[in-house]
Amino acid sequence: MNRQVEFVVKQGVVLILLISSLSGCGTYVMMGSKTQSYQGRYTLDLPRPRADIMDRIAKAGESMGYRISGMDEANRSIKLASETSFGTTYLIGKMNRSTLTIKVGEEGKLLDIDIYLFGNLGSGRKEAADELFEKFKSQLLKRLDR
């Protein structure tokens, strides 16, 4: 085999070993960590009703990296969802999926917020849901002050 071909083959082998070792870490973390889920209901009483509350809720969720996965304008509810990327799950082994379902009360002042979390490494616990609620509340209130 000539030197150039031998060099390319060695680089390819090193690259394959590197990728295998990195992906193995995520697999080992996932195998060694327990997945948990948590579902909780929170309420948020807004200072005053807003005609554009659905839009403000969507923008608050998007600012946190959530996507709108469902909207029912007639029932005044919106669903926001987020999950870890394939790369994060595969390489690091962290898995996290969360959903916020927000229902706006008739007067437009009271929000019922259902939070569902599923994940490992502590991301599926009540404490994580409490933190998520506080972060969402903060982001929404910022947008209501504008």
Pick from 117, 61, 62: nearest CA to 84: 117
| pTM to 2 decimal places | 0.72
Identify the residue whose tokens are 């209901």.
Answer: 41
Q: What is the pLDDT of residues 62-121, one digit of tens each?
A: 999 999 999 998 999 999 998 754 554 445 556 778 999 999 998 888 999 999 988 876
pLDDT at 140: 96
Pick from 120, 121, 101: nearest CA to 111: 101
Q: What percent of the chain has pLDDT over 90?
A: 45
Separation between Cα atoms, residue 38 and residue 131, nearest integer Å: 13
Q: Is 25 helix (H, G, I), strand (E, B) or coil?
A: helix
Q: Cβ–Cβ contacts within 10 Å for residue 42, how many? A: 18
* Per-residue pLDDT at 125 exceeds 80: yes
pLDDT at 88: 46
pLDDT at 124: 73
Q: What is the pLDDT of residues 43-55, one digit of tens each?
A: 999 988 888 999 9
Parse the chain into domains and list their residue ranges.
Answer: 33-144
User: What string of DSSP letters covers 33-88?
Assistant: S--EEEEEEEEEE-SS--TTHHHHHHHHHHHTT-EEEEEETTTTEEEEEEE--HHI
- Between 3-7, 28-32, 119-123, the lowest mean confidence (pLDDT) is in 28-32
Q: Which residues contact 38 (CB under 8 A, 6 or more apart)?
A: 115, 116, 117, 124, 125, 126, 128, 129
Query: Does domain 33-144 sit in CATH 3.40.50.720?
Result: no
The residue type of 94 is: K
Output the CA torsion sign for 50, 52, 54, 59: negative
